[in-house]
């Protein structure tokens, strides 16, 4: 992570603190209130043909990702989703449905829509099932991009549930990551997400791509004319580069942790396609949810968790670090310190505003 700039202002002259990001950009950022950002993004998805409910869920989710400092999954994705609607990769009116399978299991069918409402439904129903049974398993199919998984896991963990999500598939359309020892992109980024109730400062959330960097950061860098961190991608000749254009011109993302990230990605690919069946739209997912209350008393679990986490936080930091962090706490801290505002690279924000204007023109023409 790096600091983009020291201080910047919005159009009203309101000063905000520096922004920590994986993107290396030199231009200033535009500061927008959460209310204004949600309103604009909601209108875009409504005008694209999404239902009122879906537009609300997606706009709030994307803005919250920016609030948490995860701009790779923030409102920048509005541009990608709009393009995917145009190409019929996703369907704006696709609404998720929950159904029981012939073998007594449950699955969520996203009906080719944005995957965020579908994943939200899966986590909510998974918790409801686990509340009664102690454990649940749900498959999520036929969905577009499913957003920041840590957001769903955090809500589930806050309610007393352990969740484990993995998935992928559709490597023919999303050849992004080179296998360990390979010279060409072969696999998607195939993320994993784990959420578990924590201690005094909230749940522990582990949300990561099996590649060195999530694909969203590359799209964000492209949109903002930014450079990527070192050691994440290679060009078509296998040479390390920081330019996102090199990735889009035949390059590849490197696997996280070498053989470990590659192995995790391969397992997710096998599960998604060989076990769950043919992938439609973007990916297949499997969500497992466990009710902690079925195993131990919640208060005792939180007490022991805090003892463990306190020891971890008290570990002396290594050179170059200020402190040892617990997964999930950085995002919550970023949200709390954001003061209800997000800071978007100016070029990206202008593209989103231009998209909004174009859609308004099209809507008026139709009327």
Q: What is the pLDDT at residue 18?
A: 61
Is residue 345 helix, strand or coil? Answer: strand
Assess whether pLDDT exceeds 50 at residue 59.
yes
Q: What is the pLDDT at residue 169?
A: 85
DSSP state of 203: E
Residues 310 and 161 in one domain: yes
Residues 195 and 81 in one domain: no
Full-model pTM: 0.92
Q: Tell me the range of 7-11, 28-32, 264-268 where mean pLDDT is highest.
A: 264-268
The whole-number average pLDDT for the span 163-177 is 93
Residue 239 lies in a domain: no
Residues 187 and 287 in one domain: yes
Assess whether pLDDT exceeds 80 at residue 79.
yes
Mean pLDDT in the chain?
92
The whole-number average pLDDT for the span 192-200 is 97
Q: What is the pLDDT at residue 367?
A: 61
Q: What is the pLDDT at residue 5?
A: 39
CA distances from 12 to 31, 32, 47 (A): 9, 10, 28
Residue 49 lies in a domain: yes
Residues 27 and 171 in one domain: no
Q: Where are the alpha helices (DSSP H) in the chain?
A: 34-48, 52-67, 77-86, 115-133, 149-158, 215-224, 244-248, 259-269, 298-313, 329-337, 346-366
The whole-number average pLDDT for the span 27-42 is 95
Q: Which of 220, 221, 195 is nearest to 208 (CA)?
A: 195
Q: What tens digit of pLDDT does each residue of 278-334 get?
A: 999 999 999 999 999 999 988 899 999 999 999 999 999 999 999 999 999 999 999
Least trusted range by pLDDT, from 20-29, 231-240, 354-363: 20-29
Residues 107 and 79 in one domain: no
Q: What is the pLDDT at residue 25?
A: 83
DSSP state of 236: T
Whether the Cβ atoms of residue 9 and residue 31 lie closer than 8 Å to each other: yes
Domain that includes residue 120, residue range: 94-211+261-314
Report the share of the chain in percent with pLDDT over 90: 86
* pLDDT-derived band at 11, boundaries 50, 70, 90: very low
Residue 309 sits in a domain whose CATH number is: 3.30.1370.60
Q: What is the pLDDT at residue 2?
A: 40
Q: Which tokens sit at 120?
A: 């939200």
The whole-number average pLDDT for the span 170-183 is 93
CA distances from 134 to 129, 161, 323, 359 (A): 8, 9, 36, 47
Residues 363 and 287 in one domain: no
Q: Which tokens sit at 304?
A: 């022991």
Residues 162 and 267 in one domain: yes
| Of 16 and 222, the one with more pLDDT | 222
| Of 6 and 136, the one with more pLDDT | 136
The whole-number average pLDDT for the span 217-230 is 93
| Count of domains observed in the chain | 2
* pLDDT-derived band at 184, boundaries 50, 70, 90: very high
Of 273, 292, 314, the residue at which a domain comes to its end is 314
Q: What is the pLDDT at residue 39?
A: 98
Residue 39 lies in a domain: yes
Residue found by looking up tokens 């920081």 in the block: 242
Residues 49 and 64 in one domain: yes
Sign of CA dihedral 323, 228, 148, 196: negative
Assess whether pLDDT exceeds 50 at residue 362.
yes
């Amino acid at each position: 992570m790096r600091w983009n700039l020291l201080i910047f202002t919005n159009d009203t002259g309101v000063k905000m603190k520096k922004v920590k990001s994986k993107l290396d950009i030199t231009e200033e950022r535009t500061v927008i209130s959460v209310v204004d950002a949600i309103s604009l993004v909601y209108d875009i998805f409504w005008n694209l043909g999404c239902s009122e409910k879906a537009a609300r869920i997606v706009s709030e989710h994307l803005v919250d990702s920016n609030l948490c400092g995860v701009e790779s999954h923030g409102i920048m994705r509005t541009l990608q989703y709009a393009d995917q609607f145009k190409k019929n990769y996703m369907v704006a009116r696709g609404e998720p449905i929950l159904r029981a399978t012939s073998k007594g299991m449950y699955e969520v069918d996203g009906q080719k829509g944005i995957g965020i409402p579908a994943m939200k439904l899966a986590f909510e129903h998974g918790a409801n099932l686990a509340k009664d049974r102690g454990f649940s398993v749900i498959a999520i199919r036929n969905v577009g991009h499913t957003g920041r998984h840590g957001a769903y896991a955090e809500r589930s963990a806050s309610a007393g549930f352990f969740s484990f999500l993995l998935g992928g598939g559709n490597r023919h359309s999303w050849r992004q990551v080179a296998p360990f020892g390979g010279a060409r992109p072969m696999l998607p980024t195939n993320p994993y997400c784990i959420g578990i109730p924590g201690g005094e400062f909230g749940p522990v959330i582990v949300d990561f791509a099996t590649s060195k960097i999530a694909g969203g950061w590359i799209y964000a860098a492209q949109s903002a004319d930014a450079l990527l961190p070192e050691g994440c991608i290679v060009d078509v000749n296998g040479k390390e580069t920081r330019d996102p254009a090199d990735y889009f011109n035949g390059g590849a993302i490197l696997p996280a942790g070498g053989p470990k990230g590659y192995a995790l990605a391969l397992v997710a690919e096998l599960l998604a396609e060989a076990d769950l069946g043919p992938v439609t739209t973007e990916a297949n997912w499997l969500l497992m949810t466990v009710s902690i209350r079925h195993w131990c008393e919640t208060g005792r679990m939180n007490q022991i968790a805090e003892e463990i986490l306190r020891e971890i936080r008290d570990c002396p930091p290594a050179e170059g670090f200020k402190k040892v962090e617990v997964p999930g706490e950085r995002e919550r801290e970023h949200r709390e310190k954001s003061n209800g505002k997000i800071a978007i690279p100016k070029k990206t924000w202008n593209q989103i505003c231009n998209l909004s204007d174009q859609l308004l023109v099209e809507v008026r023409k139709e009327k």
